[in-house]
Amino acid sequence: MRIVATDCGSTTTKAILIEEIDGVFRQTFRAEAPTTVEEPLADVTIGVTNSITELQELSGYRLVADDGTIIRRAAGSKGDGCDVYISTSSAGGGLQMMVAGVVREMTAESAKRAALGAGAIVMDTIASNDRRRPHEQIQRIRELRPDMVLISGGTDGGDGKKVVELAELIAPARPRPRFGGEYRLPLIFAGNKAVRGDIERIFSSEGFALSVVDNLRPTLEQENLGPARERIHDVFLEHVMAHAPGYDKLIEWTNAPIMPTPGAVGDILQAIARERKINVVGVDIGGATTDLFSVFGGIFNRTVSANLGMSYSVSNVCAEAGMEQVLRWVHLDMDERELRNRVKNKMIRPTTIPQTHDALVFEQAVAREALRLAYAQHRAFATKLKGVQQQRTVGDTFRQDEGAGSIVDPMLLDLLVASGGVLSHAPRFEQTFLLMIDSFEPTGFTAIAKDSIFMMPHLGVLASINTRAAMEVFERDCLVPLGWCAAPKGEVRIGKPALSFELRGERGVIAKGALNGGEFRLVRLAMGERATLEVRPERGLDMGAGAGKPASRAIEGGAVGVLIDARGRPLQFPKDHAERRKAVASWVEAAEVYEHA
């Protein structure tokens, strides 16, 4: 069997070829081409055809017909063409939604979770208590041009007045859909079922295409996001995709419904967490946005940081983080004025790639800040259901740390998966490895892997029609284990003893030593090699067993190895500029990040 899969991103369209070889599915070739949703071409299928044409050149198989369409071969045939063609899409800005709920921390947050989980970018969340006055909310609704709107509010059998009030604000504001013209704005109601009649009356005008699904918060203690998510996917295909340039053709070409890219990535990560019974965080850093996915204790969360990305949004990352924060990761001499112009040039010509060593170092510094900001947003969002009575200790009440109350606990994180251009295409595995550790600051013992060539979206949609093929490719070709990070939680004192460690393999001690605050040590451990790592932190530092208590974990090698990190959590930099640069240069050297640091 021969499967062609594409992912139409906002910048590039990525194609992969999957073949069944000796009874096992393997990913064999990949190619990419600029996405072509914009003028003058304004037809996504041109980029798709270009990427598959490149796949054809690399593989030697004829996959594209003279008229630009994808060649399909008859069942059982060994000739030209492919048997299955599937695609995901985030081009055209992806799926952009506005959500609304009665209480910001409860139904509105559940609505946001449903939209994000379905792969949408949430442009704004309107709630009765969002601290905006009604006319300000109406003004905001009028300014937005969403692809669709999701309204929730009220538990089933609970108060219905507030959600009707919300609907009464939204309807006269007449939000204009992004595609304009004859397009009727899809609106999904997933709130108190007792007021469905009122909602139908309010949105009966011609401008809306209303659909009603089960309440996504039927009781305070229960979240039921499935029906809303499914309806969002349906509406995405029926309304949004059908209006994007060239998608009417693409929909006809595919063997399975086109999925929003992040929805597909979420599906495959949930499958891993389920299969391996682990807690996972996955990141996909794109040109315009950064998507964060987490599965902790079986609970899935996704966030999209809409303006944190490496091309369209690169300037915003620098503006939001501050150039000083970006440059703290750089160990080379760089002229700030020149860098600012380079950032803007990348923003206006988003498809370019770094050609020089300096450009790469700077781009990876920006990526660290984009990831750090996106992860902070994710942790703040991924919390337990609010509105449910919980017992809190006095200690909890006074905890004010970032991500407090988040279910994404770095100490419980088992696997961190990196994907997206800047991570997947980094020239050396060491770059991705250190970039992930610097940005996410994992604590305790954490495995780090990367999506080899960003094929999680392809596999997410493939899983919907051929689970075996998706899982086989995922295990063999998609995930590349990079290694492990062991880092104690707590503030270190720079230059003072922080921890000692011992890495013991099947044939004895591989490495052992002690580290001072501000240092780390990389120990190479080959792919598949098993070992046990014991870390003994100093007083006040915690490896998961309690402050100052030793902890150990069985680990397996990867493309990089094991990094024992005594830089502290949160990660600490020397305050002096020259000392900071010296420290960063030593990290870069210790982790062998660049061939010529």
DSSP strand pairing (280-285 vs 415-419): parallel
Question: Segment contacting other proteins (CB under 8 A): 47-55, 151-159, 383-391, 436-444?
Answer: 47-55
Reduce the DSSP state of residue 258 to 3 states and report it: coil
Q: Does 132 bind other proteins (CB under 8 A)?
A: no
Kindly tell me which residue out of 20, 26, 53, 574 binds other proteins, with binding defined by CB under 8 A. 53
Kindly tell me which residue out of 338, 395, 398, 401 binds other proteins, with binding defined by CB under 8 A. 338
Q: Does 10 bind other proteins (CB under 8 A)?
A: yes
DSSP letter at 490 equals B
Kindly tell me which residue out of 341, 475, 577, 589 binds other proteins, with binding defined by CB under 8 A. 341
* Tokens 């985030």 belong to residue: 90
Contact yes or no for 41/56 (Cβ under 8 A): no
**Residue closer to other proteins, measured from CB, 60 or 528:** 60
User: End-to-end CA distance of the chain, in Å?
Assistant: 45
Kindly tell me which residue out of 4, 106, 126, 138 binds other proteins, with binding defined by CB under 8 A. 138
User: Minimum Å distance from CB 295 to other proteins?
Assistant: 29
Kindly tell me which residue out of 212, 288, 478, 591 binds other proteins, with binding defined by CB under 8 A. 288
User: Minimum Å distance from CB 516 to other proteins?
Assistant: 31
Kindly tell me which residue out of 204, 219, 352, 467 binds other proteins, with binding defined by CB under 8 A. 352
Helix and strand numbers (H, E) in the chain are: 19, 22
Residue 385 corresponds to which amino acid?
Answer: L
User: Minimum Å distance from CB 381 to other proteins?
Assistant: 21
Footprint of other proteins on residues 368-407 (CB under 8 A)? none
Q: Does 343 bind other proteins (CB under 8 A)?
A: yes
**Residue closer to other proteins, measured from CB, 159 or 502:** 159
**Residue closer to other proteins, measured from CB, 288 or 522:** 288
**Residue closer to other proteins, measured from CB, 44 or 268:** 44
Question: Segment contacting other proteins (CB under 8 A): 39-47, 77-85, 522-530, 557-565?
Answer: 39-47
Query: Which residues make beta-bridge pairs with 222?
Result: 219
User: Minimum Å distance from CB 261 to other proteins?
Assistant: 13
Reduce the DSSP state of residue 251 to 3 states and report it: helix
**Residue closer to other proteins, measured from CB, 77 or 139:** 139
- Distance between CA atoms of 309 and 367, rounded to whole angstroms? 8
Footprint of other proteins on residues 526-555 (CB under 8 A)? none
User: Minimum Å distance from CB 319 to other proteins?
Assistant: 4
Contact yes or no for 379/402 (Cβ under 8 A): yes
Query: Which residues make beta-bridge pairs with 445?
Result: 486
- Distance between CA atoms of 596 and 594, rounded to whole angstroms? 5
User: Minimum Å distance from CB 114 to other proteins?
Assistant: 23
User: Minimum Å distance from CB 538 to other proteins?
Assistant: 37
Kindly tell me which residue out of 1, 21, 24, 57 binds other proteins, with binding defined by CB under 8 A. 57
Nearest in space to 96 (alpha carbons), one of 241, 198, 228: 241
Give the per-residue SS3 of 338-366: HHHHHHHHHHHCCCCCCCCHHHHHHHHHH
Kindly tell me which residue out of 132, 243, 425, 536 binds other proteins, with binding defined by CB under 8 A. 425
Query: Which residues make beta-bridge pairs with 490?
Result: 569
Kindly tell me which residue out of 226, 427, 495, 546 binds other proteins, with binding defined by CB under 8 A. 427
**Residue closer to other proteins, measured from CB, 357 or 580:** 357
Q: Dihedrals φ, ψ of 224, to 5°? A: -125, 80
Helices (H), 382-453: 394-398, 421-424, 429-440
Q: Does 355 bind other proteins (CB under 8 A)?
A: yes
User: Minimum Å distance from CB 131 to other proteins?
Assistant: 16
Residue 46 corresponds to which amino acid?
Answer: I
Q: Does 198 bind other proteins (CB under 8 A)?
A: yes
Kindly tell me which residue out of 184, 344, 384, 577 binds other proteins, with binding defined by CB under 8 A. 344
CB atoms within 10 A of CB 402: 10
Question: Segment contacting other proteins (CB under 8 A): 19-27, 38-46, 395-403, 439-447?
Answer: 38-46
**Residue closer to other proteins, measured from CB, 331 or 553:** 331
Contact yes or no for 461/264 (Cβ under 8 A): yes
Q: Does 56 bind other proteins (CB under 8 A)?
A: no
Q: Does 165 bind other proteins (CB under 8 A)?
A: yes
- From residue 596, alpha-carbon distances to 5, 81, 215, 433, 435 in Å are 37, 44, 57, 17, 17
Contact yes or no for 337/343 (Cβ under 8 A): no
Kindly tell me which residue out of 105, 124, 234, 320 binds other proteins, with binding defined by CB under 8 A. 320
Kindly tell me which residue out of 24, 242, 348, 404 binds other proteins, with binding defined by CB under 8 A. 348
Q: Does 312 bind other proteins (CB under 8 A)?
A: yes
- Distance between CA atoms of 456 and 308, rounded to whole angstroms? 20
Contact yes or no for 84/47 (Cβ under 8 A): no
Give the per-residue SS3 of 20-84: EECCEEEEEEEEEEECCCCCCCCCHHHHHHHHHHHHHHHHCCCCECCCCCECECCCCCCCCCECE
User: Minimum Å distance from CB 92 to other proteins?
Assistant: 4
The two tokens of residue 39 are: 């003028």
- Distance between CA atoms of 156 and 152, rounded to whole angstroms? 11
Footprint of other proteins on residues 213-272 (CB under 8 A)? 245
The two tokens of residue 493 are: 């004192």
Q: Does 432 bind other proteins (CB under 8 A)?
A: no
# of chain residues touching other proteins (CB under 8 A): 71
Question: Which stretches does DSSP call E strand in 249-315?
Answer: 259-260, 280-285, 290-296, 299-305
For residues 91 to 130, the per-residue mask of contacts with other proteins, x marking binding by CB under 8 A and - elsewhere, is: xxx-------------------------------------
- With a CB cutoff of 8 Å and minimum separation 6, the contacts of 471 are 271, 275, 463
**Residue closer to other proteins, measured from CB, 312 or 440:** 312
CB atoms within 10 A of CB 255: 17
Reduce the DSSP state of residue 403 to 3 states and report it: coil
Q: Does 44 bind other proteins (CB under 8 A)?
A: no
